[in-house]
Amino acid sequence: MMHRRPLLAAVALAAPGVARAQNRPRRILMLLFRGWEEACDGFRDYFAVRHRPVDLIVRNAQEDLKRVPDMVREAQAMQPDLVYLWGTTLAMAALGPWDAHDPARHLTGMPVVFNIVTDPVRNRVVRTRTEPGRPVTGTEYIAPVAVQLGAMASYRPFRRAAALYNPREGNSVVTLEEMNELLATRGAMLDRLPVPLAEGRPQAEAIPGLVARAREGGAEWLYIPPDTFLNEHRAALTAAALREGLPSFSASERFVAFADALAGLVSRYYSVGAFTAFKAEQILFGGVAPGAIPVETLSRFSYLVRMDTARRLRAYPPVSLLRIAEAV
């Protein structure tokens, strides 16, 4: 629970020995899951600040995994200098498991960096964070689950939490499995409430009823995991929590910064993108093998508190937390 890391200064100064030679623009194929956003801004801007010549070629899956095979085939034909992958779902689909890689279906023969990925070890994107086991590295974007639990308890202690999630999103499932395990060791409980599916798609109209069910079940926090579906419906989700008088805590910034969640311990997307570009720079201009670069999170996280929500819920943060939190 620390102050915001400077957006580009820290990562830009982290590699003072990297040479400025090699003027050939490096081709980076950016495979996105839900379009261009702040992490992509940070990734692009890092190269501009460092005066590194790159050509960014952007493709967007539009949240449709059926598009991924064509994206992989294009990458194989193009053979760019680097592939950038955004998001857990896309990374899993494009790379496959590290120990069950299929060259006919997955990216092969080119270095890859990923970001906005949740627990790449449990999701089998890499073997371990220090030894990825393949020519892949990247940046995780959520704070460790144990740290998030500590952040929630520092705002208001609790014995029971609830979480909605899309059962088809592996990042949400994995995060909530770990949270459930950790809470059980502390004598606390997590009610996991999957959003019902119709023809394979989660149903947004079910959100208010599930939030009401969470409150009726005795939840003291509504935890919001990293989840693309929930992000799309963040306004409806956080508004429902407000109506139920249920404080909500988010693993990612958009629910607090651009909706009505009460609080969150988050990595700024822009900073995650810039840090990922630092790793890409080592590969493209420093000659470092991707598998030799550890997968990391940012070293600092931002504790966000939406004060309007705090007033509406009459759930003000303790003074000790206000000393380190960012009011939004």
What is 174-237 written as a DSSP string?
A: HHHHHHHHHHHHTT-EEEEEEPPEETTEE-GGGHHHHHHHHHHTT-SEEEE-S-HHHHHTHHHH
Q: What is the pLDDT of residues 93-104, one digit of tens each?
A: 999 999 999 999
Supply the pTM of this predicted model: 0.80
What pLDDT shows up at residue 22?
55
Query: Is the CB of residue 326 less than 8 Å from the CB of residue 304?
Result: yes
- What value does the mean pLDDT of the chain take? 92
Q: How confident is the model at residue 210 (pLDDT cuts 50, 70, 90)?
A: very high
Torsion angle of the four alpha carbons 206, 209, 214, 215, in this order, in degrees rounded to the nearest 10:
150
Phi-psi region of 48 (alpha: psi -120 to 50; beta: other; left: phi over 0): alpha
Structure tokens at 114: 């990923």
> Crossing angle, helix 38-49 and helix 269-286, to 10 degrees?
40
Q: Which domains does the chain have, with CATH numbers?
A: 3-141+268-297 (3.40.50.2300), 145-266+302-327 (3.40.50.2300)
Tens-place pLDDT, residues 242-301: 999 999 999 999 999 999 999 999 999 999 999 999 999 999 999 999 999 999 999 889
8 A C-beta contact, residue 246 and residue 211: yes
Is it the case that residue 12 has pLDDT exceeding 70? no
On the question of pLDDT at 7 being above 80, the answer is no
Spatial neighbors of 53 by CB under 8 A, at least 6 apart, are 23, 24, 25, 26, 47
Is 70 exceeded by the pLDDT of residue 57?
yes
* Dist CA 80 CA 29 (whole Å): 6
Strands 263-266 and 302-305: antiparallel
Inform me whether the pLDDT recorded for 205 exceeds 80.
yes
Mean pLDDT of 219-236: 96
Look-up of token digits 């993108």: 273
Query: What are 229-238's pLDDT values in tens digits?
Result: 999 999 999 9
How far apart, in Å, do the first and last CA atoms of the chain sit? 16
Mean pLDDT in residue range 197-207: 95
Q: What pLDDT is attached to residue 220?
A: 98
- Answer yes or no: is pLDDT of 46 > 70: yes
How many other CB atoms are there within 10 angstroms of residue 305's CB atom?
A: 21
- Does the pLDDT of residue 11 top 60, yes or no? no
Q: What is the pLDDT of residues 60-85, one digit of tens each?
A: 999 999 999 999 999 999 999 999 99
- Out of 6-10, 81-85, 174-178, 203-207, least confident range: 6-10
Q: What's the average model confidence in pLDDT over 48-55? A: 97
Neighbouring C-beta atoms of residue 104, cutoff 10 Å:
8
| pLDDT (average), residues 155-182 | 94
User: If phi over 0 gives left and psi between -120 and 50 gives alpha, with beta otherwise, what is residue 177?
Assistant: alpha
pLDDT, greater one: 261 or 23: 261
- Is the pLDDT score of 9 beyond 60? no
Provide CB contacts within 8 A for 314, sequence distance 6+.
none
For residue 221, give Cα distances in angstroms to 52, 177, 218, 247: 45, 17, 9, 5
More confident residue, 18 or 77: 77
Which residues make beta-bridge pairs with 145?
A: none
